[in-house]
Structure 1
Amino acid sequence: MNNLDKKDKYLGCILGGAIGDALGAPIEFLNHESIISKYGDSGVQSYVEYPNGKGEFTDDTQMLLFTAEGLLRAKHRAVLKGIGGAQTQITYYSYLRWLNTQGLKISKMNDLSGFEEGWLIKRKELYKRRSPGGTCISSLQSGEMGTFEKPINDSKGCGTVMRIAPAGLIFSHDREVAFEEGAKICAITHGHTSGYLSGGLLSAIIADISNGLDLQASISNGLEILKRWKGHEEVYDSIKLALDIHRSYINKDISNLEIKMIGEGWVAEEALAISLLCSLHYQNDFKKAVVTAINHSGDSDSTGAITGNIVGLIVGKNQIPQDWKDNLMFKDIVEEIGVDLAIGCKSYYDFPDEKWHLKYPGY
């Protein structure tokens, strides 16, 4: 794709996720019956959190932004030094910056040099607690970085998949690399295989879509990679269920009843499966896909965010409803990250771009 198309698609992915997150945020802890009772038979169709019709994203998008920041810093380092491999560690430090925005102390971190450098941590709009996930908080506060070999816990919460889309964009050159690197980043905070493999799978799917593959093919390719990983069964079965439901309702709308067959989305494999079901069913209709993904008894903001990432990447920013774009709070932060992900890096080997270095220092 040319640079204009790439920018539109990447912006669609990142902005679409933030929009889905903001739409689902006010109903995250409501069951379907309560949603219908409060908002009518069609459920939530626009931002409802504030009287002025504005929408605000949650910790899901906050963490996605810091995922992107970490990966862009790592890419900058790799370009300047000619070697890669530090992306997980650098993204971990970006997550610690996010933890700082939540007003929490960081344990066992002695070297704070450069910690407050870069542009994202300076955006005070992000210094808000928007229902952050307990596992992400406790993992990061521990001062230890989880890995495949040394899991930090046994959690498989959806805090893995809701933040990982930037990995698929950064490593779009190779779905296998996108899967592994996405899973490594998820394992920083979530030690259960279903948690980090769900994130790896979404990363691989995002990578393929960004290269022009359709969603069905992207899922199939991702599942082939998934099957080679130990402990993949739970994730695989959830995604296969979503595919079966999609085929069974191919000429019908899906609703809370079909989503309920998968679960509520509080755990990673369910959140991913629900999002893939909504994305497959309405992959050329951003509004329909996201509205379906949020109006269910479960983790509405996370399934809205993941669906927004996927369908936003498919259709691009220009196909997202204008009023949803106009009324998203702090949209400029989200769009700046989307544009920078499309750029990748402005520096060249041994020739740093000074402004880019100030935005994304390579550490």
Structure 2
Amino acid sequence: MTNLNKKDKYLGCILGGAIGDALGAPIEFLNYESIISKYGASGVQDYVEHPDVKGEFTDDTQMLLFTAEGLLRARHRAALKGFGGAQTHITHQSYLRWLHTQGEGVDESSKTLGFMEGWLVQRKELYKRRDPGATCIHALKSKIMGSLEVPINDSKGCGTVMRVAPVGLIFNHNRKTAFEEGVKISAITHGHPSGYLSGGLLASIIADLSQGLDLKTSISNALRILKKRKGHEEVYDKVSQARALHKQYKNKNIDQDVISTIGEGWVAEEALAIALLCALHYPNDFKSAVLTAINHGGDSDSTGAITGNIVGLMVGQEQIPQDWQDKLMHKDIVEEIGIDLSIGCKSNYSYDDEEWHGKYPGY
């Protein structure tokens, strides 16, 4: 993959997720009948939250941005020190910075060196509550970092999977590593296997897609890793159901009735399966994939965000409708993160890039 192509794909992934999130945000808590009644037989077809037809992303994208920030800071640390391994703890600190932007007090004992450094936490546009998930808020306020060894709760909410795409982009060299890191970072806030394994599965799929593999192969590869993990059954069954539905409706469009057989997307394995179904069905059509993913009576912004990450990565930024890109509020923040993910790090063991250090200090 050339650097130019990589930048296009990574921007497609991050921008695509933010766009899907923004499109689905206004209908997240509406049932399907209410969506149709308010927006017509086809449901939402464009941004509808603001009167100037602009879209605004939610906590889903906010947390994805801070996931990326944590991983980039960890990558910078590894480049300078010559060894890695601190990404989970550093990403937890990034999540605490997100918690700070939500108006929640962060205990001083939880903060590490340089807590308020870096560019992302300085962006005041992110200091806005956009229906943040209660599980993420409560877990991060607990002063404890959840882990596989010491689960913080028994939640499997989709707050794991909607934020994890940057893990696959950063660890794209090895799907197994991407899976493991996705699991660990998901477990920071969610302790149920179906929650953190969904995060791992998506990270593996994103890693393979970024290497140019097709979606079906990427899913199969990820499922082989998943099956070796204890407690994998719910995630495996839901993703298998999505694949079966894609085959069943191969020559037909999918709609609310088909999606509802999977669920509403409030829990991780359902949100992931709905997104994979939409991506499988419309792999080269960003607009159809995302609009299908949001127009159902469930967690529309999360299923839209995950679908946008997957299909956006496959088609690249250039194939995402320009009008949706132009009307996405705070697009510049999302773009900057996408570009920086495609770079990875500007420093190395013998050279600390001053600008990069200011953006992503290695701690």
Instruction: Name the TM-score class by shorter chain.
Output: over 0.9
Counterparts of 2:76 and 2:151, CA distance in 1: 28
Match of 2:240 in 1: 240
The 8 Å contact of residues 168 and 205 in structure 1, kept in 2 or not, is answered as: yes
Q: Secondary structure at the match of 1:264?
A: coil
Say if 2:67 is the partner of 1:75: no
Encode CA deviations 1:325-344: one digit per residue, 9 max, x unaligned: 00000000000000000000
Aligned to 2:120: 120
Pair 1:87-2:66 in alignment: no
Contact 1:108–1:143 under 8 Å retained in 2: no
Other-structure match for 1:297: 297
Q: State the distance in 1 between where 2:116 and 2:149 align.
A: 30
Asked if 1:145 is matched to 2:124, the reply is no
Q: Cα offset for 1:108?
A: 6.3
Q: What is the TM-score with the length of structure 1 in the denominator?
A: 0.99
**Map of 1:174 onto structure 2:** 174
**Mapping for residues 200-279 of structure 1, pairs under 5 Å:** 200-279=200-279
In 2: Cα distance, 1:234 partner to 1:19 partner: 28
Contact (CA 8 Å) 2:93, 2:111: kept in 1 or not? no
SS of the equivalent of 2:261 reads helix
CA contact (8 A) 1:347 1:356 kept: yes
Deviation at 1:110, TM superposition (A): 5.1
Count of residue pairs brought into register by the alignment: 363
Which amino acid is 1:323 matched to?
D
In structure 2, give the amino acid aligned to 1:143.
Answer: K
- The equivalent residue for 2:334 is 334
Q: Does the 8 A contact of 1:81 with 1:350 survive in 2?
A: no
- Using the TM superposition, give the Cα deviation of residue 3 of structure 1 relative to its aligned residue in structure 2, in angstroms: 0.3
Matched residue, 2:36: 36
**Conservation of the 8 A alpha-carbon contact between 1:67 and 1:163:** yes
Distance in structure 2 (CA, Å) of the matches to 1:111 and 1:163: 22
1:174 & 1:310 partners in 2: Cα distance? 18
Please name the residue that 1:131 is paired with: 131
1:232-269 deviations in Å (ceiling 9; x for gaps): 00000000000000000000000000000000000000
Distance in 1 separating the partners of 2:323 and 2:145:
40
Alignment check: 8 A CA contact 1:106 1:142 kept: no
What are the superposed Cα offsets for residues 157-176 of structure 1, whole Å, 9 maximum, x if unpaired?
A: 00000000000000000000
Deviations 1:7-35 (A, max 9, x none): 00000000000000000000000011110
Q: Which residue of 1 aligns with 2:324?
A: 324
Superposed displacement of residue 113, structure 1: 3.2
Shift of 1:112: 4.5
SS class of match (1:48): coil
What is the distance in 1 between the residues matched to 2:264 and 2:69? 30
CA distance in 2, matches of 1:237, 1:106: 38
Cα distance in 2, alignment partners of residues 264 and 347 from structure 1: 43
Q: Deviations over 1:119-154 (max 9, x none)?
A: 000000000000000000000000100000000000
> Counterpart in 1 of 2:288?
288
- Higher alpha-carbon deviation: 96-105 or 108-117: 108-117
Letter in 2 for 1:186: S
Q: Please tell me whether the aligned partners of residues 312 and 320 of structure 1 are also in contact (alpha carbons under 8 angstroms).
A: yes
Q: C-alpha separation between the residues in 2 aligned to 1:141 and 1:118?
A: 21
Hey, what's the Cα distance between the residues in 1 that align with 2:355 and 2:121?
16
Which runs of 4 or more aligned residues in structure 1 lie more than 3 Å from their structure 2 counterparts after TM superposition? 110-113
Alignment RMSD: 0.7
User: Secondary structure at 2:153's aligned position in 1?
Assistant: coil
2:64 partner amino acid: L
1:310 alignment counterpart: 310
Question: Which amino acid letter does the alignment assign opposite residue 306 of structure 2?
Answer: I
- Tell me if structure 2 keeps the 8 A contact 1:146–1:152: yes
Task: Kindly report which structure 2 residues correspond to 1:10-21, keeping only aligned pairs within 5 A, or say none.
Answer: 10-21=10-21
Q: 1:157 maps to which residue?
A: 157
Residue in 1 aligned with 2:346? 346
Match of 1:100 in 2: 100
Sequence identity (%): 74
Structure 2: distance between partners of 1:108 and 1:245: 49
Q: Using the alignment, how far apart are the partners of 1:203 and 1:173 within structure 2?
A: 12
Task: Give structure 1 stretches of 5+ with no counterpart.
Answer: none
- Give the gaps of 5 or more residues in structure 2: none
Contact 2:71–2:90 (Cα < 8 Å) also in 1: yes
TM-score when normalising by structure 2: 0.99
Tell me the distance in 2 between the aligned counterparts of 1:114 and 1:316. 34
Task: Name the CA distance, whole Å, in 2 between partners of 1:358 and 1:46.
Answer: 37
